[in-house]
Amino acid sequence: MPPEVTMSSAQARLESLWQRGREFLGTEFAIMGGAMSWISERNLVAAISNGGGFGVIACGSMTPELLKAEILGTQALTDKPFGVNLITMHPLLDELIDICGELGVGHVVLAGGLPSASSIKRIKEHGAKVLCFAPAVAFARKLVRSGADALIIEGTEAGGHIGPVSTSVLVQEILPAVSEVPVFVAGGIGRGEAMLSYLEMGAAGCQLGTRFVCATECIAHPNFKQAFIRAAARDAVPTVQVDPQFPVIPVRALANQGTRRFIEYQHEVLARFKAGELDQKKAQLEIEHFWAGALRRAVIEGDVENGSVMAGQSVGMVTREQPTAEILRELVDQALSALAARDSASVFA
């Protein structure tokens, strides 16, 4: 069988596998960009959408005015679909939702905790689709009952704030249990073959963050990008909690002077607590505030030694700076090549 016939059948198969995700997102590829604070802004988001994927603005702690400017800035750079990621604990969440509705954002991702049914309803009343993160089967079912239009399952291999369960385990638990809505898989995905494997298990599409940090269009400081290019998978580690009395939400980032200093700092705060200088609440707040501004220091200012260099374990597969469209095409070509190789092997078996 000629190679072009094999590749044509591979293309048809891939389109079938992620048809549900493409239709949901309105994109050529069912590949979402992970929302990364300070990184997933208008330039990268528009580049992902223009390249055939689905860019997502990271609202983070933005005010409604800043989010409005970011959405308008993105709309000026692309006429393709993109979404906005909102943090459920944001004190002005309702106002942020209304800004998205006012500006015609078609998809809103709710992250950072289990969203309320009222927040989901408010987004849907604006005519947008709602995507929510599901860390377990029970939560997935609850979110679907609450009106979520799609789910994202993200494993501990991801960068930034993480849960305790690996992507491969979450996929096996959740994909067979949820068929009512599209489910996108995230965490540790760096190549098209991995993306393909999740699609074949029933995912509607995939979400990648780390892979896009070294995109040409990404505004991250050159030092930040070079840290990614130099890093191996084992360099992306979760932050350490030194005392169960003072829980720390784990964040996966590249080990540096800042992560080492964080461990020392926790011990110092604990010593002050035990000496009676701080009550438990104040001690907890001091620990939580250690990383305040640390991500911006790394991403924007380039201080990759003391700042927070959030990265997923797929960072070892980031080897150079590339245009966003090239990254997307590379992922798709890897998936197609894997399918074509399989077809070819079956023909000659």
* Tens-digit pLDDT profile for residues 208-255: 999 999 999 999 999 999 999 999 999 999 999 999 888 888 999 999
Q: What are 275's two structure tokens?
A: 């000496």
For residue range 78-112, what is the model confidence (pLDDT) as tens digits?
Answer: 999 999 999 999 999 999 999 999 999 999 999 99
Domain boundaries, the chain: 3-219+319-339, 232-310
For residue range 288-307, what is the model confidence (pLDDT) as tens digits?
Answer: 888 889 999 999 999 999 99
What is the distance between the alpha carbons of residues 40 and 46, in angstroms, rounded to a whole number?
A: 9
Listed in sequence order, the DSSP H helices in the chain are: 3-17, 19-25, 42-50, 64-77, 93-102, 117-125, 137-145, 167-174, 192-200, 222-230, 257-274, 280-288, 294-299, 324-348
Q: What is the pLDDT of residue 345?
A: 65
* 343 has pLDDT over 80: no
Q: What is the pLDDT of residue 5?
A: 56
3-class secondary-structure state, position 250: coil
What is the distance between the alpha carbons of residues 108 and 57, in angstroms, rounded to a whole number?
A: 9
The residue assigned the tokens 């590339």 is 322
Q: Which residues contact 335 (CB under 8 A, 6 or more apart)?
A: 14, 192, 193, 195, 196, 199
Q: What is the pLDDT of residue 288?
A: 84
* 142 has pLDDT over 60: yes
Q: Tell me which fold the domain 3-219+319-339 belongs to.
A: TIM Barrel (3.20.20)
Contact of 120 with 149, CB cutoff 8 Å: no
For CA atoms 171, 225, 28, 60, the dihedral sign is positive
CA distances from 81 to 47, 50, 185 (A): 11, 9, 19
Q: What is the pLDDT of residue 344?
A: 74
Q: What is the pLDDT of residue 342?
A: 85
Contact of 183 with 149, CB cutoff 8 Å: no
Q: What is the pLDDT of residue 49?
A: 98
Q: What is the pLDDT of residue 347?
A: 53
Q: What is the pLDDT of residue 305?
A: 97
